[in-house]
């Protein structure tokens, strides 16, 4: 795979075509592996967003009226095109996010699960029907689309998360406006072209590139009926509160501080291998990454840290063009500097440095945003590195004396995205899954992210709103229920007025 050195001028995708931005303001898009600018992305004005919304409004009536079977045919064609052009999409992901080829493939595969779920829209949209609920009246319900919905997606999954946010929304009859992260806009523009080729009518799918001005217009504009967001907890809370105050349906997924509990009976070799990928994959830029490993008992901790130190020292960091690397750079130089700051401050607070990734060898020969894997031992609750989500390859060891202590610590944390336990003891696993206050739970599964047909969302301050990113609840999020009661009179039948509240006594 060859890195493209051309600097592209990007646009928005509105009314079925790429259009140039008119604001005059742009943001640089970097290749994190080299530090080079690869594109300039326009930042939309409020007026540009309003114009895009009007285009979507014009397209909505016809799209809503189209049969769900016809809509799903387009979704299936979109899926086919994605699989046919997967190599192009992999190259885009790797270039703008720094992910390895295998990680990009994995992201696309998980994204396709959301497409597959959307293909089941005819089944998932079925309502309920009751015959003769009273007085020869039949009652039934239908699920109908909301109208114009918006998705605001993060940089760390430029394909999987936008697909998870939007495919069902399209299939059930909404028009969608996607505002991707300005750090990774190329992937969204690429599969915009696939939607066009698949036959999606103009205006049903829109990509607006921008910053807070574009986001604020989506949050405030009354034509937008629902907002789906993934990002940091502070921003998620702002999105939820603001969008809700304007009467919108909002699901805002925030950060995670995910823990792996290791019981004394666990196989430490298996644990260590599972931890490496779950903790450091994608340079730890995953909301479901394992941040903290909690060995139960001093012997377990000492032995596990020794095994981890050996394995972590052998991990290779580098560009996606090298098939031997385990993970690549973080997304920006600012992210790299912030992560180093977290490490420095944790040492001042008393953490012990087991593996130091602040100066990987690759950094000496590249301008890319590289950090090696860092492991900190003797981390305590209250330390910044324990309390805050760190979106980079620095992971913590928190030693606990018992499973009860581990559960208590995890339940006390403000974030509740994902958690897992490694054990061969069924009673311990049952106690853990029953008592833990976290939205997604694994048993001997390092990253407990559900498949696309199960609901994805954390608890506590990892999620604001009651919606989910995919799964059955996603259908309900993007539709509203209409309940109809109907009665047909026979010819020449008699009728009388009644002033009693309707009941089923007839």
Distance CA 424, CA 432 (A): 13
Q: Cβ distance 446 to 271 under 8 Å?
A: no
Distance CA 446, CA 299 (A): 22
Q: Cβ distance 376 to 312 under 8 Å?
A: no
Active-site annotation holder among 167, 175, 287, 355 = 287
Catalytic residue list contains 355 = no
Distance CA 13, CA 75 (A): 18
The counts of H helices and E strands in the chain are: 16, 23
Find tokens 């189209």 and name the residue: 66
Nearest to 271 by CA among 261, 281, 280: 261
- Between helix 426-435 and helix 403-412 the angle, nearest 10°, is 20
- C-beta neighbour count of 223 within 10 angstroms: 16
Distance CA 384, CA 219 (A): 32
Q: Cβ distance 369 to 332 under 8 Å?
A: yes
DSSP-derived secondary structure letter, 296: B
3-class DSSP assignment, residue 38: strand
In three state form, how does the secondary structure of 210-256 look?
Answer: CCHHHHHHHHHCCCEEEEEEECCHHHHHHHHHHHHHCCCEEEEECCC
Length of the chain as a residue count: 506
> Which residues, in sequence order, are CB contacts of 293 under 8 Å at separation 6+?
259, 260, 262, 275, 279, 304, 308, 395, 396, 397, 398
Q: Which residues does the annotation mark as catalytic?
A: 287
């Amino acid at each position: 795979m060859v890195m493209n050195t051309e600097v592209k001028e990007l646009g928005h995708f509105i009314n079925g075509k790429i259009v140039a931005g008119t604001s005059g303001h742009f943001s640089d898009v970097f290749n994190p592996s080299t530090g080079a600018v690869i594109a300039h992305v326009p930042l939309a004005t409020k007026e540009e967003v309003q114009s895009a919304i009007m285009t979507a409004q014009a397209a909505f009536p016809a799209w809503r009226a189209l049969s769900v079977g016809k809509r799903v045919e387009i979704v299936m064609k979109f899926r086919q095109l994605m699989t046919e052009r997967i190599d192009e999409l992999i190259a885009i992901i790797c270039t703008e996010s720094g992910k390895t080829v295998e990680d990009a493939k994995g992201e696309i595969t998980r994204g396709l699960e959301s497409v597959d779920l959307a293909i089941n829209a005819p089944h998932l949209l079925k309502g309920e029907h009751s015959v003769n609920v009273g007085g020869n009246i039949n009652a039934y319900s239908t699920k109908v689309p909301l109208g114009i919905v918006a998705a605001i997606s993060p940089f760390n999954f430029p394909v999987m998360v936008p697909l998870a946010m939007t495919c069902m929304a399209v299939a059930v009859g909404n028009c969608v406006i996607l505002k991707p992260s300005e750090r990774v806009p190329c992937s969204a523009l690429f599969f915009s072209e696939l939607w066009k080729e698949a036959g999606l009518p103009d205006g049903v799918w829109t990509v607006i590139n921008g910053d807070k001005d574009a986001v604020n217009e989506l949050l405030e504009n009354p034509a937008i009926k629902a907002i789906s967001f993934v990002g940091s907890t502070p921003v998620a809370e702002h999105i939820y509160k603001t969008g809700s105050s304007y009467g919108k349906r909002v699901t805002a997924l925030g950060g995670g501080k995910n823990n792996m509990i290791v019981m004394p009976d666990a196989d430490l070799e298996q644990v260590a291998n599972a931890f490496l990928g779950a903790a450091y994959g994608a340079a730890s830029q995953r909301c479901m990454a394992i941040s903290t490993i909690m060995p139960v008992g001093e012997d377990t901790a000492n032995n596990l840290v020794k095994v981890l130190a050996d394995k972590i020292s052998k991990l290779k960091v580098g560009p996606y063009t090298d098939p031997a690397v385990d993970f690549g750079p973080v997304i920006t130089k600012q992210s790299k500097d912030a992560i180093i700051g977290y490490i420095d401050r944790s040492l001042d607070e008393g953490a012990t440095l087991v593996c130091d990734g602040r100066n990987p060898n690759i950094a000496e020969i590249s301008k890319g945003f590289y950090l090696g894997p860092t492991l900190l031992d003797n981390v305590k609750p209250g330390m910044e590195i324990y309390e805050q989500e760190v979106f980079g390859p620095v992971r913590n060891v928190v030693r606990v004396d018992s499973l009860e202590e581990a559960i208590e610590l995890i339940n006390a944390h403000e974030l509740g995205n994902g958690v897992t336990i490694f054990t061969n003891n069924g009673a311990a696993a049952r106690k853990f899954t029953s008592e833990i206050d976290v939205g997604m739970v694994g048993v001997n599964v390092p990253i407990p992210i559900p498949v696309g047909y199960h609901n994805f969302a954390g608890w506590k301050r990892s999620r604001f709103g009651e919606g989910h990113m995919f799964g059955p609840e996603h259908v309900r999020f993007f539709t509203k229920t209409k309940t109809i009661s109907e009665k047909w009179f026979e010819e020449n039948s008699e009728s009388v007025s009644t002033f009693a509240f309707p009941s089923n006594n007839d």
